[in-house]
Amino acid sequence: MVFGRKSDELKRRKIEAMYEKSRQKFFPDVPEITVEELRDRLSDADRLVVVDVRSPNEQAVSMIPGAVTAQEFERDREQHRESTIVAYCTVGHRSGLFAKTLGDNGFEALNLRGAILAWTHAEGALENQDGPTRRIHVWGPKYSFEAEGYDPVW
């Protein structure tokens, strides 16, 4: 199991590097939230809306429990005006852009640092239409940085 921990540490560093490169270039001023902070705040569901901005194909594999799709959010975004919006994708690029747009439009929007890949490293739960799952969509071997015990799908 020691090998798995070392491997996971390397994966976490890769996720962090990819996220930080994107953040610095495209959305440096977007506030963010860590996976640990999100897990702690999920009980405050009245004031927190988690939005999965990935494609429907990615969402069909798995989502963070309680999250809504970007399409569901956009149907009536004004109902969430007084909530804190937490956006996520695979690594954090697409969700960073989404959170930036929301912030520019007066929403309190946060980007999930490291996104769903970081979520797996915090042993975050995932679900799909059938219930709990350990599968995660990663876009191919180049993005296969999920934690040990999760099954990558592309």
Helices (H) and strands (E) in the chain, counts: 6, 9
Kindly give the interhelix angle for 93-104 and 2-26, rounded to the nearest 10 degrees.
Answer: 40
Structure-block tokens of residue 113: 């640092």
Q: Please indicate whether residue 138 is annotated as part of the active site.
A: no
- Which of the residues 64, 89, 97, 115 is marked catalytic? 89
**Count of C-beta atoms within a 10 Å radius of residue 121:** 20
* Distance (Å, whole) CA 8 – CA 19: 16
* Distance (Å, whole) CA 112 – CA 50: 9
Residues involved in catalysis: 89
